[in-house]
Structure 1
Amino acid sequence: MSSRKFLFVKYFFHPFYVFLLFFLFFFFPTFSFTQEITINGKIIDSEFEAPLEGVNIILSLESELKSCIYNNYNISSDTTKLYVFSVFSDTSGYFIFNSIPLHKKMFNCYITASRVGYKNFNKVIVIDSSTFLTKTKIILTVDVILEPSIISTGEITVVSTKYNTFLKDTPFSMEILEKEEILKQPATNLPTLLDTKAGISFVKDGVWGAEISIRGLTRNNVVFLIDGNRVETSNDIAARLSLVDLYDIEKVEVIKGGSSVIYGTGALGGIINVVSKSGNFSNKTSLGGSLLCSYSSVNNEKLINLSFLVSSRLYYLKLAGTLREAGNLNTPMGTVGNSQYKDDNLSLSAGLTPLKNQKIKFSFQRFSASDVGINGGFGIFPLNALVKYPYEKRELTSFEYISENIYSGSAFNINKLSFKFFYQTVLRDVEVLQNQSQIVLDPPKQIINTTKLTPNSKNYTVGLQLQSDIIFLKRNYLIFGIDFWNRTLDSRREREQFIISFDSSGNNILSSTYKLTGERPIPESNFESFGLFLQNELSLPYFSYGNNTSKIILGLRTELNKISNSKVFNPVYVIINNGIINYNPEGQKVLWNERNIINSSFSANLGVLLSAFNDIDLTFNTSYSFRSPSLEERYQYIDLGSLVRLGNPDLNIEKGIFFDFGIRTWKQNLNLNLNLFTGFFSDLVIEIPGIYENRTALIKNNSGKSRIYGFDMYFSYSPSSFIDLLFYTTISYTRGKDTENNLDLPQIPPLNSRVGLKTVIPVFENLFSIDFSTVLYARQDKIYKGETETPGYVIFNTYINTKPVFIYRKSKYIIFYLGVENIFNKSYKNHLSSNRGNMYIEPGRNFFIKSTINF
C-alpha cells in the first residue's frame, strides 16, 4: 500500500478521464442564441435596510425561448412556455443573471426571491418586442426588498434530487437543516442538530462521535455525502458525521426512506447530503467575510471560525477555517471522564466561468481531530479501558465541470452536461489503554498484561460521475448518468503486552518479556461500485387542482459491486525484546483467504406529487432498494480486550421495499407535513452471539424478514401576520418487527415529540426574538434481547437571538445567539445511546453564547 499517496494522480490522469474532459470541452459547444438579457440587482432587508446574503432568486421567462438551463437549475417546459433560472445573492446582497439567451418575441419576466425567515418577493416585468429592434442585449436592474417572516413557505432549493428544485415541488419525504438553525443552537456534532427533525434521531457513541437513525435505520443503511461525494469509513464506532465543520455548512438535506435509490448501495434507509458553503458569481467584484465565536458551559467548549469571500462575474473564491476545543462533559450525575475533544477545519472553494455557459468548480476540505475521548462503544472495549482518538483526519478534493444550454431542438433539449471527480481520505487512529491482566495457570504459569492496543485505518475513496439533463416532449425532465467509486481500506492493529513467566512452582519469576503483536483487523480490501442511473420527472399541469404542479418521478438504477481482499494472517508479525520483527511467529494462521466477490443489483423508485386542492398536496413514494454489505461487515476481526466481533464474507445483499404516503400544505400562516411509512426488508445484516476460538463473539449474519413502520409530522402555525408568534411541533413514531421470529428490532427510537413557541416580547421586539422548546420522549419497552428499557423524559430549552447590531453603515453587523438547554438539569437517557457502564446520562444544563460578525 505504499503507493496510496499516488492514488489521486493515478485515477485523475487515467487516459479515459483525460479524453472525457477533452470531449466535453471541444465536442459539446453551446447553442448560440441571437438575443441576450442580463438582469442584476440587490437584496435588502426591509426592517434594517441591510443587504442579505444567500437569498435564492428565481427568474421565470414566458416566451418562445427554447428550453435551456442556467446556474444548475432545471427548467420546466410545459405548454405555458415558462422557463426557470436560479442564482443566490452574494455577501453584499448583489445577484446577476448574466447573458441569458432569448428570441425576438415579447415576453414576461417573473422574479421570485426567497430565504428562510423572510416572506417571498414576487415581481412581473413586461418587455415589448420593439426593444429588440435596436438592441441585441438587454440589461435590467431590479432591487428586491424582503420582509421578515416567522414561517417557512417550502420554497427552499434542494439539490439532493440530482437536480435543483424547490422542496415543495418534490414528492420525496425530506428534511432540511439550514445554516440559520445551526447558528441558533449549540451542538457538538451534526446528529445533535438533525435530531430536531421529524423522523430522525441521534445515536451516540460518546460525546464527540454520533450517528443518526432515519425511521429506525442507521449507520450502514444511510448514505452520507458531502456535496454529493460519498464518505466511506467504518461505522462500528461513530465518527463519519463528526468529521464535518458545522460552520462550513450551507444546509443539510435528508431524504428519508428508500426514495434515494439512484444513489446506489447503502441508501436503504435514506441519505444525508451536506451542502458546503461556497461562493457565488456576482455582478460586481465584492469582498466579504465573517467571524464567529462561541462558548458552551456544559463542557467548556470554545470555538472560533473565520471566513473570507471574493466574487465577480468571472470567478469566486472562498476560504474558511475553524478551531474548536472542549473539556469533559458535565451531567446531572457528575462529570463524564474522557469526553474531551479538539478539532479544526480548513476549506477552500473556487469557481470560474472560462466560456459562456460553462463553469469549473473546485473545492478542498481538511478536517482533523485530536485527543478525542471515546467514552462509549459498549461491547467493543473493556469496561476499565481508556479509549481515545489520538488523531483523525478527513480530506476531500473535488473538481466539477458544467456545460449548459448545449443543444436545443424541436423534440428534445440537452440542458446540461456535468462531470465530477473527487478523492477523499479518512484516516482514523485509536488508542486503547486497558491494563488488562490474564493469568495462565497451565505450566509454566504466566501473567499476560495487555497494556495498550493501537488500531488504525486508512480509507481512500475515489469517485467520478457523468450526468446529463435533458428535456424531451416538453413535460419530461430526464437525468441520465453513470458513476463510479472505489474504496480502498488499509487497516492495522498493534497489541502491546508484558508477559511474566514463572518456574514450575509458580512462585518464582523466570523472565519478563515485552511483546508487540501486529494484526490486521480487516485485510487489505477494495469495494468498487459502478452504476447507471436514470430519473424522469413528468409534469402534469392538466391534473393540477391547486397552486402547485402535479408530477410523477420515476428513478431506475443498476449497479455492479466488486469486493476483493488479500490473504491475511493472524498475527501478521511479532516483536519480542530484541526488536527483531518475526513475520512467521508461532501460532500464526490464515484469518481470511484471498477472495473476489461480485454483486449485481437493480433498484427503482416511483414518486407522485398530486396538487389536489389549493395549497394542499398529496404525495406517494414507493421503492425497491438494496445494500451490499460493507468491507467491515464482511471481513472485520475486532478484538480489543472485550468480546470478539467477526465479519462474514458470505453475507447476502440486503433488500427492501418501501412505501410512503403524505399530505402537505404550505400557507402563509400554516405548514403541515404528515407522512405514513412502512418498509419490508429481507437479509438485514445483524450480529448473532457465538463462539470464536473459545471466546464469546458477535458474528455477522443475515436476518430473515423484517418490517419497520410508523409516521412523522411537522406542523407550524402563526395566528397573525401582524404578530411574530409561531407555534410548532414535530411528532415521530417508529416500530420495528422481526416478522419471522416475532421479535422487536434493535435500536428503534421511542415515540418522541418537540413542541415550541417562537415569539418576540413587545417591549423588546426590536432587540431580540425568543424560542421556547420542549423535548418529549416516551418510554421504550419494545426492545430487542440484550437491550434495556428506557424511561420517558421531558426537557426544556430556551434560545434567544438578537437583531443585527450595525457597526459600519448597513453592511457590517454583529448578531448574538444565546440560551440554555436542559433548563432544569434533568437526568435522562437516550435509548439509542451506546455509552457503556454508567455513562448513560446525557448532558446537563448548558448555557451557551455565540456571536457572528459579518463584514
Structure 2
Amino acid sequence: MAQPTFLLQPLTAAICIACYSPLVFANVQTTADDVMPVHTLAPIVVTTQMERDANGLIVRADPKQPIQPVPATDGADYLQSIVGFSAVNSGAGTNGDVTFRGMFGSRIKILTDGTENLGACPSRMDSPTSYISPESYDRISVIKGPQTVQYANTGSAATVIFERTPEQFDENKNYRGQASVLLGSFGRLDQNIEVAAGDEKKYVRLNTNRSVSNSYKDGNGTTVPSDWERWNTDIALGWTPDKDTWLELTGGKADGEAVYAGREMDGSKFARESLGLRVEKKNISDVIKKIEAQVNYNFNDHVMDNFSLREFTPTPMMKMPMATNVARKTLNARVAMTSEWEKITLISGVDTQNNEHSIRKGMHNSYKKQPRQTDMEFQSIGAFGELTYDLGNDNQFVTGLRLDQVDVNAVQSHQSRQQLLPSAFLRFENIHPEHDDGKTYIGLGYVERMPDYWELFSPVSGNGNSNTFKSIDTEKTLQLDLGYQHAHGNFSSWASAYTGLIQDFILTKYNADDKAETRNVDAVIAGAEAGVGYQFTDAIQADVSVMYAWGENTTNNTPLPQIAPLEGRVNLRYIQDRYTLGAYWRMADSQNRISEREGNIVGYDNKKSSGFGTLSLNGTYNLSNGVDLSVGIDNVLDRAYTEHLNKMGASGTGLPTTEQFNNIGRNYWARISMKF
C-alpha cells in the first residue's frame, strides 16, 4: 500500500527532540520591561463529551484532544466517546459502524466540511466514518434527532458534522502547526501533522496522518485478528481578499487496509480521492448577512478479499481465493443564504447530490482486468428553509422545511425509483435568566427517508419479493425531542430525551444461509441521555452520564434489534496547573431485549448479552509551552468482555464462527503533542 514517506518514524523522533528544545519551545515570553513566565495548562483526556450548545440539543467536541479509550483512528471510533453513540464492531481495530440511539446507517447523516462522502462495500466494510481521520478536523458537531433541514437527505436520528475552520493570520505571525505521536500496546503507532502558513489574504494548510497497529489480545490472552494500516493527506488553499470574503480549494488522498475477525474477507484497499471548492461572502446588505456555496467530489475505491491479508482457507461460501472491488463517486453541491429581518433569521438554499456505485470481482487479482460495472445511479435535488424567530424574554422559535426529489436507478436491471421526500421540524427554546443558568428545548420533527444503497441492493428479498429494489417502501419518522441543561455553582446537569413513531421502518432479517432479507414494519422508539457533574474542590471534579435506547417492532410485537444496552460512565479527575490525573469507569448492562437473526446490513442479534464494567486510568503533563504528554491504561483489570453490538468470528481467522469475539484486553498508550 502506497503511503507518504514523510509521515513515518522520523516524526516520532522529531517531536521527542522538540519537547526539550528551548530554542523551539521556550516557556517564557520576553517584553521590553520584564520577563513573565507563561503557564500552559495540561489538557484533559476526554472520556465523555459534556460540552453542549443550542439549549442542549447540539453536542460539540474537539477532536484534537486526547480521548480514552485509546485515541481514535476513525470517525466511528471517536463518536463513541459522545454519550448516545455506540458502534457495530466487525473485528478490526478500526472501521466500526456507528449507531446513535439504536439507529443505524443512513439514519445518521455524516458530513465532512458540509459534504457527504459515502462508502461502497455492499456489507458496509467501509462505512462513511472509515474515511474520516478525526484529528484532522477542528470541531465535531452532533445535532440530535430530525432537528435541522439544512443538509441533503436529512438524517432522522442525528446529523454529525466534522468541520475545519478557515485559517487567519496577521503580520505578527504567519504560520502555525501542531503534531502528535501516539504509541500503544500491540504495535499501535499514530502520527499526525497539521501545518498552515499565510498572511492576511491567503493561506495554505496541510493535514496528514498515519496509523498502524497489530492484532490485539483480549482479556483471556487470545489473539483477535484485527491489524490495520491507514493514512490520510489533505491540503487546502485559502483566499481572504477582505474580512467578509472567503474562498477555499481543497484536495485529498487516503488509503488503508484492515483485517476483520468477524468477516470472511478483509479490506485490502480503502482509497479516497477528494476535491472541493467553497466560497463564502458576508454582510452583503442590511438583510442578506451571508451567502455560501460549495461543490465537492469524492471517489472511494475499496477492495475486499480473502487471501492478501490472511492465509486463504476454503469455506462453504468461498471455496476459492476471491476479490471484490467496489467504488463510489459522489458529487455534492450546495448554495445557502442567511437573511435577517428584525427578530427573524432565515437560512435558505438548494443542494444536490449525484453518486454512482460500481463493482467488479474475480479470482485472486483478476478483477483488475475487468471493467467496472455500474449497478446504481443516485440523484437528489432539494430546497430548504430554516427560520429562527426571537420571541423575547429569552425565548425563540425555530422551524424548518425541506423537499428532496430523489431518483435511484438500478442500472443492470433497468429499474428506477422516483420519490418526493418532505422533512420538517419545529422547536421551542428557552434560555433562563442568568441566576438560573439553564436552557431547555422541545421539538417535533418529521423525516421521510429513501432506502439507501445497502437496503436496496444487498438483501436477497424485500417484503417477501425477490425484487428488493422495487419492494421496499420509504421510511417515515415522527420524533419528539426535548431536553435541558443547567449549571449553578459547583453543580451541573443535563438531559436529552426522545420518543418517536416510525412507519415502514426498514428491518433486515438473516435466513439460515446468512442471506439478508428486508421488510418494512412499524416501530416505536424512545430513550434518553443524561449527566451530572460536581466540582468537589478546586482540584477534584467528577461527572456521571448514562444513555438508554429502546425500540419496539409494533407490527410483530418484538424488540427492535441491534440496540445497545443501558450504559453508564463515571469520570473522576484531579486537576493541577501542569498535570491532571483521571479515572474512567464504563459500565454496560446486559441486553435481554433482542430479536434473533434480525438487525441491519452489518450485524444481527444472535443471543442475549451479559453486562460488563471496565476501568481505565489516564494522566497528562504539560512538559513546556505547547508540548503535552498524555498517558493511559485502558481496561486496567484486563477483563474479557464482549460488546452487545459485535459480530461473530469468521472462517479463516481461527476464531469460532458460532461465538462473538472479545474486545481488547489491557492496553497501554502514550501520546505526545506539540503546538507551534
Calculate percent identity across the aligned residue pairs.
17
Determine if contact 2:179/2:673 at 8 Å carries over to the other structure.
Answer: yes
Number of residue pairs matched by the alignment: 610
Say if 2:261 is the partner of 1:375: yes
Task: Tell me the CA shift for residue 675 of structure 1.
Answer: 1.5
Instruction: Give the counterpart letter for 1:616 in structure 2.
Output: G
Task: Tell me the CA shift for residue 847 of structure 1.
Answer: 0.5
What secondary structure is seen at the aligned counterpart in 1 of 2:592?
Answer: coil
Say if 2:537 is the partner of 1:731: no
Task: Tell me the CA shift for residue 254 of structure 1.
Answer: 1.4
Deviates most, 215-224 or 173-182 = 173-182
User: Aligned residue for 1:463?
Assistant: 332
- Tell me how far apart the structure 2 counterparts of residues 389 and 147 of structure 1 sit (CA, whole Å): 42
What secondary structure is seen at the aligned counterpart in 1 of 2:674?
Answer: strand
User: Aligned residue for 1:564?
Assistant: 409
Instruction: Give the counterpart letter for 1:232 in structure 2.
Output: L
Instruction: Give the counterpart letter for 2:255 in structure 1.
Output: S
Structure 2, unaligned runs of 5 or more: 1-26, 31-37, 598-605, 650-656
User: Aligned residue for 1:494?
Assistant: 362
Say if 2:118 is the partner of 1:232: yes
User: Aligned residue for 1:555?
Assistant: 400
Alignment of 1:1-400 (within 5 A): 167-168=52-53, 170-171=54-55, 173-182=57-66, 185-206=70-91, 207-234=93-120, 236-239=123-126, 240-265=128-153, 267-276=155-164, 279-282=167-170, 284-297=172-185, 299-355=186-242, 357-370=244-257, 372-377=258-263, 381=264, 387-400=265-278
Task: Tell me the CA shift for residue 519 of structure 1.
Answer: 9.8
Residues 603/455 of structure 1: CA separation in 2 closer, same or farther (3 Å cut): same
Deviates most, 452-461 or 607-616 = 607-616
Indicate the structure whose relative CO is greater, using CA pairs within 8 Å and at least 6 residues apart: 2
- Tell me how far apart the structure 1 counterparts of residues 64 and 313 of structure 2 sit (CA, whole Å): 46
Task: Tell me the CA shift for residue 181 of structure 1.
Answer: 3.4
Instruction: Give the counterpart letter for 2:359 in structure 1.
Output: S
Pick from 594, 597, 618: which aligns with 2:417? 597
User: Aligned residue for 2:517?
Assistant: 699
Pick from 449, 453, 456: which aligns with 1:627? 449
Task: Tell me the CA shift for residue 805 of structure 1.
Answer: 1.4
What secondary structure is seen at the aligned counterpart in 2 of 1:649?
Answer: helix
Task: Tell me the CA shift for residue 395 of structure 1.
Answer: 2.1
Spell out, residue by residue over 1:373-421, the C-alpha distance to the aligned partner (whole angstroms, 9 max, x if none).
12224xxx4xxxxx2211111222111111111112xxxx011111111
Determine if contact 2:272/2:299 at 8 Å carries over to the other structure.
Answer: yes
Instruction: Give the counterpart letter for 2:134 in structure 1.
Output: L
Determine if contact 1:755/1:775 at 8 Å carries over to the other structure.
Answer: yes
Deviates most, 348-357 or 648-657 = 348-357
- Tell me how far apart the structure 2 counterparts of residues 180 and 697 of structure 1 sit (CA, whole Å): 41
Determine if contact 1:317/1:348 at 8 Å carries over to the other structure.
Answer: yes
User: Aligned residue for 1:744?
Assistant: 559
Task: Tell me the CA shift for residue 521 of structure 1.
Answer: 11
Residues 337/196 of structure 1: CA separation in 2 closer, same or farther (3 Å cut): closer
Pick from 374, 381, 385: which aligns with 1:530? 381
Task: Tell me the CA shift for residue 205 of structure 1.
Answer: 1.6
Say if 2:299 is the partner of 1:425: yes
Residues 261/800 of structure 1: CA separation in 2 closer, same or farther (3 Å cut): same
Residues 231/333 of structure 1: CA separation in 2 closer, same or farther (3 Å cut): same
Alignment of 1:710-729 (within 5 A): 710-720=527-537, 723-729=538-544
User: Aligned residue for 1:441?
Assistant: none
Alignment of 1:680-829 (within 5 A): 680-689=501-510, 697-702=515-520, 704-720=521-537, 723-760=538-575, 765-786=576-597, 787-806=606-625, 813-829=626-642
User: Aligned residue for 1:577?
Assistant: none
Residues 437/754 of structure 1: CA separation in 2 closer, same or farther (3 Å cut): closer
Determine if contact 2:76/2:87 at 8 Å carries over to the other structure.
Answer: yes
- Tell me how far apart the structure 2 counterparts of residues 520 and 768 of structure 1 sit (CA, whole Å): 57
Residues 535/668 of structure 1: CA separation in 2 closer, same or farther (3 Å cut): farther
What secondary structure is seen at the aligned counterpart in 2 of 1:819?
Answer: strand
Deviates most, 359-368 or 786-795 = 359-368
What secondary structure is seen at the aligned counterpart in 2 of 1:197?
Answer: coil
Determine if contact 2:44/2:580 at 8 Å carries over to the other structure.
Answer: no
Residues 670/318 of structure 1: CA separation in 2 closer, same or farther (3 Å cut): farther
- Tell me how far apart the structure 1 counterparts of residues 396 and 194 of structure 2 sit (CA, whole Å): 40
User: Aligned residue for 1:842?
Assistant: 663
Determine if contact 1:186/1:296 at 8 Å carries over to the other structure.
Answer: no
Spell out, residue by residue over 1:224-269, the C-alpha distance to the aligned partner (whole angstroms, 9 max, x if none).
1111111212462343212222321212111222213442425011
Instruction: Give the counterpart letter for 1:181 in structure 2.
Output: Q
Task: Tell me the CA shift for residue 754 of structure 1.
Answer: 0.2
TM-score, structure 1 normalization: 0.67
What secondary structure is seen at the aligned counterpart in 1 of 2:148?
Answer: helix
Determine if contact 2:377/2:411 at 8 Å carries over to the other structure.
Answer: no
Residues 782/183 of structure 1: CA separation in 2 closer, same or farther (3 Å cut): closer
Spell out, residue by residue over 1:305-341, the C-alpha distance to the aligned partner (whole angstroms, 9 max, x if none).
2222113211222112212221111111334343111
What secondary structure is seen at the aligned counterpart in 2 of 1:740?
Answer: coil
- Tell me how far apart the structure 2 counterparts of residues 437 and 776 of structure 1 sit (CA, whole Å): 37
Task: Tell me the CA shift for residue 288 of structure 1.
Answer: 2.6
- Tell me how far apart the structure 2 counterparts of residues 481 and 199 of structure 1 sit (CA, whole Å): 30
Determine if contact 2:376/2:408 at 8 Å carries over to the other structure.
Answer: yes
User: Aligned residue for 2:347?
Assistant: 479
Task: Tell me the CA shift for residue 356 of structure 1.
Answer: 5.6
User: Aligned residue for 2:478?
Assistant: 657
Q: Which has the larger radius of gyration?
A: 1
Deviates most, 627-636 or 349-358 = 349-358
User: Aligned residue for 1:616?
Assistant: 438
Instruction: Give the counterpart letter for 1:686 in structure 2.
Output: L
Residues 675/246 of structure 1: CA separation in 2 closer, same or farther (3 Å cut): closer
Instruction: Give the counterpart letter for 2:469 in structure 1.
Output: N
Determine if contact 1:256/1:271 at 8 Å carries over to the other structure.
Answer: yes
Determine if contact 2:120/2:357 at 8 Å carries over to the other structure.
Answer: no
Task: Tell me the CA shift for residue 477 of structure 1.
Answer: 0.7
User: Aligned residue for 1:512?
Assistant: none
User: Aligned residue for 2:14?
Assistant: none
Determine if contact 1:278/1:349 at 8 Å carries over to the other structure.
Answer: no
- Tell me how far apart the structure 2 counterparts of residues 688 and 490 of structure 1 sit (CA, whole Å): 25
Task: Tell me the CA shift for residue 817 of structure 1.
Answer: 0.6
- Tell me how far apart the structure 2 counterparts of residues 149 and 607 of structure 1 sit (CA, whole Å): 39
Determine if contact 2:484/2:494 at 8 Å carries over to the other structure.
Answer: yes
Deviates most, 705-714 or 177-186 = 177-186
Determine if contact 2:41/2:622 at 8 Å carries over to the other structure.
Answer: no
- Tell me how far apart the structure 2 counterparts of residues 234 and 50 of structure 1 sit (CA, whole Å): 52
Spell out, residue by residue over 1:81-128, the C-alpha distance to the aligned partner (whole angstroms, 9 max, x if none).
xxxxxxxxxxxxxxxxxxxxxxxxxxxxxxxxxxxxxxxxxxxxxxxx
Residues 416/517 of structure 1: CA separation in 2 closer, same or farther (3 Å cut): closer
What secondary structure is seen at the aligned counterpart in 1 of 2:470?
Answer: coil
Spell out, residue by residue over 1:175-208, the C-alpha distance to the aligned partner (whole angstroms, 9 max, x if none).
2221353366433433233222221112212222
What secondary structure is seen at the aligned counterpart in 2 of 1:483?
Answer: strand
Structure 1, unaligned runs of 5 or more: 1-47, 52-144, 159-165, 382-386, 439-447, 498-514, 545-549, 568-592, 640-644, 807-812
What secondary structure is seen at the aligned counterpart in 1 of 2:77?
Answer: helix
